[in-house]
Amino acid sequence: MRLKSIFTNSFGILLSRIFGFLRDIVMASALGASYWSDIFFLANRLPNLFRNIFAEGAFTQAFMPSFVASANKGVFSTAIFLRFSLFIIFGSFIVTFAPEYITKLLAPGWDSERIADTAPLTAINFWYLYLIFIVTFIATLLQYKEHFVTTAMSTVLLNISMIVALLLFMKSDPKTIAYALSISVLVGGALQVLVHLIALYRLKLSRLLLGGWKYRKEKDVTEEKKKFTSLFIPAVWGGSSLQINSFVGSIIASFLITGSVSYLAYAQRIFQLPLALFAIATTTALFPGISKALKNKNETLAYANLGKGFWLLSFALGLATVGGVILSEPIIWLLFERGNFTTEQTQATASVLSMFMLGLLPLGLAKLFSLFLYATYRQGKAAKIATISVVANIIASLLLMHPMGATGIALAGSIGGWVLFILTVREVGTDKFLTIIKSKKSLYLIASLLLFSLLLYYINTFIMQIIR
């Protein structure tokens, strides 16, 4: 297992998330969980959905196996880049000229006045989608060369851009702050593109694209493009159940009380830290090697990496789950309760966070096992599994939203995560899963979680006596 690559990814993601938390702390102080915070989060919801889809590996899982197998890598990659560029730019112009319709689809529970306030921000934020596509496309080429650090750390630039905007406009009215944040998203995206272009040049991969452009009419990659196209939509859908469930959750939350969208957004920021730090970092580092091993019919190496990755994630995400559930209120209090963010909002967000954390372990392990589906071109199976997970999440959300509010939506997301994990393991091979867990490490894991739970219970009791 490529521990160096995993740690490089984890360090970059940790640094990025630290700046992300700083951004959220300043944002919570400036806007709280309010009318305009809901508007910004919703306007940023669609590009953020695609950012998460791209950044967390869905595009890479579709593109990488086809790129590895391509006999004309430069021509193939250039053709895919041009096709996606035209499609995304065309879609961005549609959103720019008709943002009200898109906004209404995102928030069917909002009235016409709030839709009108949100629509201009939807148009601004949507252009980030093309920037993040360029970043992800280049990042996949860098991953092929086993270069991860640029991509892992580049989100720092987005967060810095947003922090600067918040600090500059902190004393302005909430509407101005929301507009400044939206523009800063585009500035941060442009900076991310720039550093990836520099890395591409330094690794001499720019020659690959230039060569692909030069010979694109001379070398036929029609069959490779057809194969990629047949795999892409199932791969993206199959790798995006978490993001889709989050997206659906924000839509359903628009029917709840003001602040519900923000509660979900703030809690997800924290939930996504251990998921990115461990699960995404590990799967991103392992995927190129697993793809190459399976292509070379070296299943022993591929499954050895699966076992090591399983135990790394089980311990890391298991401890994070316990910590997130037990210490949810102190965590939210420490990060957000200041300025316009009240004690009541802390308690509501903490409740949402606890429910999100129940799905952390299954979602992380599902991402690990799904690597074998993508590396063996079973994207269609992954898509079917994701569909079942999304349907389970929607049903649970509709059942729980009224009795539990935003907390019920978060719990529904965790239920969808468990469905995703169980079905993914069954598709990859239940026998392989049972072989992995038939180990003394299972006992060590259970004992560690029990002891850690007991320790955190007393720590939480002590902290709550101080802060409340």
Per-residue confidence (pLDDT) for residue 24, from 0 to 100: 82
The residues near 197 (Cβ < 8 Å, ≥ 6 apart) are 138, 206
Confidence band of 185 (pLDDT split at 50, 70, 90): very high
Lowest mean pLDDT among 334-343, 364-373, 435-444: 334-343
**pLDDT > 70? residue 215:** no
Lowest mean pLDDT among 23-37, 140-154, 218-232, 380-394: 218-232
Using a CB cutoff of 8 Å and minimum separation of 24, what contacts does 86-92 make?
88/129, 88/130, 88/133, 89/130, 91/129, 92/126, 92/127, 92/129, 92/130
**pLDDT > 80? residue 317:** yes
Per-residue confidence (pLDDT) for residue 190, from 0 to 100: 95
For the segment 8-37, the average pLDDT, to the nearest whole number, is: 80
Which pTM does this prediction carry?
A: 0.73
For the segment 450-457, the average pLDDT, to the nearest whole number, is: 94
Task: Tell me which residue of 125, 151, 152, 167 sits closest to 18, measured CA to CA.
Answer: 152
Per-residue confidence (pLDDT) for residue 218, from 0 to 100: 54
Task: Tell me which residue of 218, 261, 311, 200 sits closest to 34, measured CA to CA.
Answer: 261
For the segment 73-86, the average pLDDT, to the nearest whole number, is: 83
DSSP element (H, E) containing 91:
helix 73-97
Per-residue confidence (pLDDT) for residue 198, from 0 to 100: 92
Cβ 421 vs Cβ 287: under 8 Å: no
CA distance 448 to 440: 12
**pLDDT > 90? residue 5:** no
Per-residue confidence (pLDDT) for residue 384, from 0 to 100: 92
Q: Which two tokens stand for residue 89?
A: 């730019």
Lowest mean pLDDT among 62-76, 166-180, 355-369: 62-76
CA distance 36 to 97: 22
For the segment 433-459, the average pLDDT, to the nearest whole number, is: 92
Neighbouring C-alpha atoms within 13 Å toward the C-beta of 54: 22
Task: Tell me which residue of 190, 189, 209 sits closest to 142, measured CA to CA.
Answer: 209
Per-residue confidence (pLDDT) for residue 151, from 0 to 100: 82
Encode burial over 321-360: b for 16+ CB neighbours within 10 A, e otherwise. bbbbbbbbbbbbbebbbeeebeeebbbbbbbbbbbbbbbb
Confidence band of 239 (pLDDT split at 50, 70, 90): confident
CA distance 195 to 446: 43
Q: Which two tokens stand for residue 182?
A: 């939206």
Q: What is the mean pLDDT of the chain?
A: 85
**pLDDT > 60? residue 306:** yes
Confidence band of 250 (pLDDT split at 50, 70, 90): confident
Lowest mean pLDDT among 178-182, 306-310, 313-317: 306-310
The DSSP letter of residue 468 is -
Rg (CA), the chain: 22
Cβ 365 vs Cβ 314: under 8 Å: yes
Span 319-337, pLDDT tens digits: 999 999 999 999 999 888 8
Lowest mean pLDDT among 194-198, 232-236, 308-312: 232-236
Per-residue confidence (pLDDT) for residue 217, from 0 to 100: 61
CA distance 283 to 369: 9
Lowest mean pLDDT among 32-41, 289-298, 352-361, 402-411: 289-298
Q: Is residue 358 classed as helix, strand or coil in its secondary structure?
A: coil
Lowest mean pLDDT among 74-88, 126-140, 294-308, 420-434: 294-308
Please report, as a single letter, which amino acid is at residue 270. I
Span 385-436, pLDDT tens digits: 999 999 999 999 999 998 999 999 999 999 999 999 999 999 988 988 898 8
Neighbouring C-alpha atoms within 13 Å toward the C-beta of 190: 9
